[in-house]
Structure 1
Amino acid sequence: MNIKDAVVLVTGANRGIGLAFAQALLARGARKVYAAARNPSTVTLPGVQALQLDVTNPEEVAAAALHAADVTLVINNAGIAQPGGFLSEDSEAVARRIFETNFFGMLNMSKAFAPLLKANGGGALLNVLSVASWVNGGELAAYSASKSAAWSLTNALRHELAGQKTQVLGLHMAYVDTDLTRGLDAPKSSPEEIVQRALDGLEAGADEVLADALTQQVRQGLTAPRPVYLPQAD
């Protein structure tokens, strides 16, 4: 997938990783960037087209597909998180809310835009996932579960869309220095670093990008004698 002259839609493009994607896409020569956000007035980056889009709202997803019918790359970046485990009193409500954005929102966008990508030559989907797709320690239980589901969705879409020559890339990373992780005391990558590696992988034809060292370590640890997703001895 070539970025130069591409027409791209980025969800959650008003801040964090989404904003970094929009900036990098313009720098790499994208012909048009639709910067989608629930409140388009928060999109202030020059050179993009602000687009109102709540990925949990089917009517807004359908309207976005009509407006951005020339799209060749969709970046499913919109996501939310909330601390807490599954035994918390409000865990069911929290899980439903997070899944609506992180899983069903990605599904809504993929279904709406897959026919447009086909009509425009195939193009690509880039789904922003997480190292939490593979490991759930309970601190962000619903978020981790939603990212596991989004990883499975991404893997299925890769098979379903192969016939129309749509590249599907899953982006995995650990902590990134954004509003989402502001309260976490842990080493963090910059959004710009993550986005550069993601777009390099996209242009190289990759199916997955493991965008930082911790993610690469965790991926290797999935096949350890005691896999990293199990409690580890002190």
Structure 2
Amino acid sequence: MEISTATALVTGANRGIGRHFALELAGRGAKVYATARRPGLVDVPGVEVLGLDITDQASVEAAAAAAGDVDLLINNAAFTAGGNLVTGDLDAIRETMDSNYYGTLAMIRAFAPVLARNGGGAVLNVLSGVAWTTVEGNTAYAAAKSAQWGLTNGVRVELTGQGTLVSALVPGLVATDTMKAFARDAGLDLGVDVMTDPADLVRLALDGLEPGEVEILDGLGARAKAALSGPPRALDLTAVSAT
């Protein structure tokens, strides 16, 4: 995957990791479609802005029709505040699964033919280390990310024949405004030595994507993957903040 000559579409590009993807891709010379449910909030220079709701099939199909030259699809958009599975709001739990799993799947199904026409290209799904563990207070999000990991592994097999690389970016704690607000509200001291800067994460992702890595992990993401060989356990944010 040669980033400097790529044509990329980034979902959820109005803030956080998605915005940093759009900035870094444009900075490396790629053509970028920066998408968001509210496109007016996208403030990245040098990109083409599209309105896109990944949970709306008509919106997904319109994006695929408008961006027929894409050879790099970055699935970043997702609802994160699902709450706990047993006691949380069921509508929020469904919305979390709908965006992380079904929304990602809808994008891949719509863009797979586009990628095939353009030589195969690549799909990068933005996951989370909680796909391999869980976290008290938002077990619904962890479950949705686990499902998205399974989806990523499945479509990787299915798209091999058309030459499409399917890769997963699996970070631990990322210093987005959303994560910092969560930590503040929970009384957690998650400093710069614990959280990955989103700009650094995006550079890590694109540097891994170019040589064809299928899983790209930061430090906490790697620890979460390694922990799969032991007994199931939740991510202890209190312990993480104290390290």
Q: TM-score range by the shorter chain?
A: over 0.9
Work out whether residues 82 and 88 of structure 2, in 8 Å CA contact, stay in contact via their aligned partners in 1. Answer: no
| Ranges of 4+ aligned residues in structure 1 off by more than 3 Å | 226-231
Letter of the 2:212 partner, please give it: G
Task: Give the distance between the partners of 2:14 and 2:235, measured in 1 at CA.
Answer: 36
Q: How many residues align?
A: 228
Work out whether residues 222 and 228 of structure 1, in 8 Å CA contact, stay in contact via their aligned partners in 2. Answer: no
Letter of the 1:203 partner, please give it: E
Q: How does 1:200-211 map to 2 (within 5 A)?
A: 200-211=207-218
Task: Give the distance between the partners of 1:192 and 1:144, measured in 2 at CA.
Answer: 23
Q: How does 1:27-66 map to 2 (within 5 A)?
A: 27-30=27-30, 32-66=31-65
Q: How does 1:122-137 map to 2 (within 5 A)?
A: 122-137=120-135
Deviation at 1:49, TM superposition (A): 0.5
Secondary structure of the equivalent of 1:161? Answer: helix
Query: 2:22 is matched with which residue?
Result: 22
Deviation at 1:87, TM superposition (A): 2.0
Deviation at 1:137, TM superposition (A): 3.1
Task: Give the distance between the partners of 1:8 and 1:89, measured in 2 at CA.
Answer: 36
Which structure 2 segments of 5+ residues have no match? Answer: none
Deviation at 1:177, TM superposition (A): 1.1
Task: Give the distance between the partners of 2:83 and 2:64, measured in 1 at CA.
Answer: 35
| Alignment RMSD (CA, Å) | 1.6
Letter of the 1:14 partner, please give it: N
Work out whether residues 35 and 50 of structure 1, in 8 Å CA contact, stay in contact via their aligned partners in 2. Answer: yes
Query: 2:178 is matched with which residue?
Result: 180
Task: Give the distance between the partners of 2:182 and 2:234, measured in 1 at CA.
Answer: 23
Query: 1:214 is matched with which residue?
Result: 220
Q: How does 1:88-99 map to 2 (within 5 A)?
A: 88=87, 90=89, 92-99=90-97
Task: Give the distance between the partners of 1:214 and 1:223, measured in 2 at CA.
Answer: 15
Letter of the 1:24 partner, please give it: E
Secondary structure of the equivalent of 1:160? Answer: helix
Moved more, 187-196 or 70-79: 187-196
Query: 2:112 is matched with which residue?
Result: 114
Task: Give the distance between the partners of 1:22 and 1:47, measured in 2 at CA.
Answer: 9
Query: 1:104 is matched with which residue?
Result: 102
Give the structure-1-normalised TM-score: 0.93
Work out whether residues 130 and 224 of structure 2, in 8 Å CA contact, stay in contact via their aligned partners in 1. Answer: no
Task: Give the distance between the partners of 1:154 and 1:230, measured in 2 at CA.
Answer: 22
Query: 1:157 is matched with which residue?
Result: 155
Task: Give the distance between the partners of 1:64 and 1:126, measured in 2 at CA.
Answer: 17
1:223 aligns with 2:222: no
Which structure 1 segments of 5+ residues have no match? Answer: none
Give the structure-2-normalised TM-score: 0.90
1:81 aligns with 2:89: no
Work out whether residues 34 and 49 of structure 1, in 8 Å CA contact, stay in contact via their aligned partners in 2. Answer: yes
Deviations 1:174-204 (A, max 9, x none): 1111132122132311101110111011001
